[in-house]
Amino acid sequence: MVLQDKYAPNTNSAFEHYQAEHRLSIADTSAYWGEKAVTELDWFQGFDSVQQGGFLHGDVAWFVNGKLNTCYNCLDRWIEGRGDQTAILWEGDEPTDTKAITYRECLRKVCQISNALKAQGVKKGDCVTIYMPMMPEVSMVMLACARIGAYHSVIFAGFSADAIADRIEASGSKWVVTADEGLRGGKKLPLKAICDQAMAKDACRGVVEKCFVFARTSKTVNMETGRDVEFDSLVAAQRPYCPCEPMDSEDTLFILYTSGSTGKPKGVLHTVGGYSLYAKVTMKNSFDLKEDGSDVYACVADAGWITGHTYIVYGPLLNGTTTFMFESTPMYPDHGRYWDMVERHKINIFYTAPTAIRSLMRFGDDAPNKYDLSSLRILGTVGEPINPEAWRWYYEVIGRSNCAVADTYWQTETGGHVIANLPGAVPMKPGSCTLPCYGIDTVVLDPATGKELEGNCVEGVLAIKQPWPGMTRTCLGDHERYLTVYMKPYPGYYFPGDGCRRDEDGYIWITGRVDDVLNVSGHRIGTAEVESALVAHPAVSQAAVIGFPHEIKGEGIACYCTLTVGVEESDSLSKELKTAVRTAIGPFATPDLIIPTASLPMTRSGKIMRRVLRKIAAGESDQLGDVSTLADPTVVQVLIDKVEALQ
């Protein structure tokens, strides 16, 4: 655990130590983060003030006028002393396909990529779209953008051409970096072809100037003259040093699109200074990293999500540790893959999502028991509340009851963990993310009045009372939306959109989203996005999408669809509608249930009663509650029968 001497309390108890340090960190957040910024990051020029602005006006800024470069802090700073240490330990789709890239090698290649991007016209302040498989180059391109002051917009390689086109249009990104194909679980993903489709759409016309293509499988792909560039040879021809652009602390490091309650994804924006500091400090604390960088740390998420940004790329490298990158799936070639990797690479810290734990747990204990998992020290979980059963399996079978389980609550917008147990210091409770991180001032609000609920044993919505360095500063091109979604619901507080309970010990239990956002296998999907994909199909006149409890995914997607007059329901139509959603968003958003219906339960004022739809999909039709305000109560039984027939 990392503790500062000056805060050392007069006790040996690590928990009391945490409590004391946390109290101090929120009593004066500027003092706390100001000192961290100086000790944890290298600056080209010091900052004038630690923090200014606030939630109320949405004008938060950290480390004002300070100049630094995130890539410098990730790579250059470690060359002396850790140059020969592995920075990226990569394992490809096949277990035999591995690569260890040292800090020195990584810096050289990142410099070459930086020079290649510059040679092609990429400039400071440009947005670079990255649509890549989990090859080491994805991290390197992110770092190269940071080095030259361009900001990246990574799109998870499971998104469809439509989704890519929307994001390219919204960000005005002139540059796209991709690969010929991806490789996952023995299957090939035609990434360049999907990019081609995206770039051919009206939304992208005239936007994209260049598309840089790495070879992953070396398949021959369409290369449009003047636009597409074979990137490996161009990169190899570059000088292996590129100076770092001195960035203002508040310059943009990256944007990342995420779903909200409207159909349009938000470009969540993170900054150079604040995000980097927050990624570094939370990484070090939550995973109890060794200062000398000797840990082998594995986060098996994808770089395309915030978890990958903060805890595969930036957090580990800012701490000079070895970060493991995984291209494949937990099921390939069999469901022992994770544990095989832990044994072979002697992984000390392993970070995954409850959905993966649940799906592996189904196969029993034989697979994990076959492997030597004694290198493990800390097991992290993220993405959704972990059910106590999965927590226990993770703790007992994977951790041999000998590892700390770190339940890390956070979101794309928070940049890094905001509630998590400090391993070894904060006692664990299966299913609770426990207590706030340093510098995070959490409160529980009464959702109706917005008043803080004092004391323990209370339930309401979660909010954060003071700015922290890693928080998002705006939604790209739509600051009003940023204010509306996060700052206005409870003026003076940041509102993450989650409900929670504070138990008798002051521990936080997240109860789930309180907005129209689904959490499917830890992926955030807006119900409105799915609905607009469905109503875009000529057979659907109205759609209501809701989540229902799903054993593996946490939440499944149920789509109630009112069909256009004259259209008959059929299995093939249901399939078509599922495909429509996959095409609009991506395969990870595929609906679990399509429920065609003649009508939906509406109130007399014409509002769909989602509460009723949720109960029906959850198989809890005996708990529908008051349905007396429905315009036509008979539709309820029709839907109950339909859902029963489907399940």
Residue ranges in contact with ligand WT7 by CB under 6 A: 258, 306-307, 382-385, 407-412, 433, 496-498, 510, 513, 519, 522, 524
The rounded distance, in Å, linking the Cα atoms of 486 and 501 is 20
The rounded distance, in Å, linking the Cα atoms of 636 and 560 is 12
Q: What is the bridge-based pairing of β-strands 523-526 and 517-520?
A: antiparallel
User: Nearer Cβ to ligand WT7, position 251 or 413?
Assistant: 413
In this structure, what are the phi and psi dihedrals at residue 646, rounded to the nearest 5 degrees? -80, -25
Closest by Cα among 374, 306, 345, 424 to 2:
424
How far CA 610 is from CA of 524, 545, 558, 578, 630, in Å, comes to 19, 9, 11, 21, 12
User: Nearer Cβ to ligand WT7, position 166 or 407?
Assistant: 407
Q: Which amino acid is at 388?
A: P
CB of 388 to ligand WT7, least distance (A): 13
User: Nearer Cβ to ligand WT7, position 264 or 290?
Assistant: 264
CB of 300 to ligand WT7, least distance (A): 13
User: Nearer Cβ to ligand WT7, position 41 or 433?
Assistant: 433
- Unique residue bearing structure tokens 């708990």: 623
Closest by Cα among 326, 327, 323, 379 to 354:
379
The rounded distance, in Å, linking the Cα atoms of 72 and 508 is 37
CB of 378 to ligand WT7, least distance (A): 15
Q: How many CA atoms lie within 13 A of 392 on its CB side?
A: 3
User: Nearer Cβ to ligand WT7, position 89 or 420?
Assistant: 420
CB of 433 to ligand WT7, least distance (A): 5
- Unique residue bearing structure tokens 């469905």: 534
User: Nearer Cβ to ligand WT7, position 340 or 478?
Assistant: 478
User: Nearer Cβ to ligand WT7, position 21 or 302?
Assistant: 302
Classify residue 494 by burial, with Cβ atoms within 10 Å: 0-12, 13-18, 19+. buried
CB of 337 to ligand WT7, least distance (A): 21
CB of 82 to ligand WT7, least distance (A): 28
CB of 274 to ligand WT7, least distance (A): 17
CB of 516 to ligand WT7, least distance (A): 13
CB of 282 to ligand WT7, least distance (A): 11
CB of 494 to ligand WT7, least distance (A): 12
DSSP codes of every residue in 210-264: EEEEE-SS-------TTTEEEHHHHHHTS-S--PPPPEETTSEEEEEEE--SSSS
User: Nearer Cβ to ligand WT7, position 77 or 513?
Assistant: 513
User: Nearer Cβ to ligand WT7, position 265 or 497?
Assistant: 497
The rounded distance, in Å, linking the Cα atoms of 426 and 334 is 35
Other CB atoms within a 10 A radius of the CB of residue 180 amount to 22
User: Nearer Cβ to ligand WT7, position 131 or 410?
Assistant: 410
CB of 431 to ligand WT7, least distance (A): 9
The rounded distance, in Å, linking the Cα atoms of 621 and 330 is 36
Closest by Cα among 360, 383, 420 to 525:
383
User: Nearer Cβ to ligand WT7, position 112 or 258?
Assistant: 258
CB of 316 to ligand WT7, least distance (A): 16
Is the link from the previous residue into 447 a cis peptide, with omega within 30 of 0? no
User: Nearer Cβ to ligand WT7, position 125 or 549?
Assistant: 549
Q: Which two tokens stand for residue 284?
A: 């070090």
152's CB contacts (< 8 A; 6+ apart) are: 127, 128, 129, 130, 141, 142, 145, 146, 254, 255
- Unique residue bearing structure tokens 């939304």: 203
DSSP conformational letter for 284? H
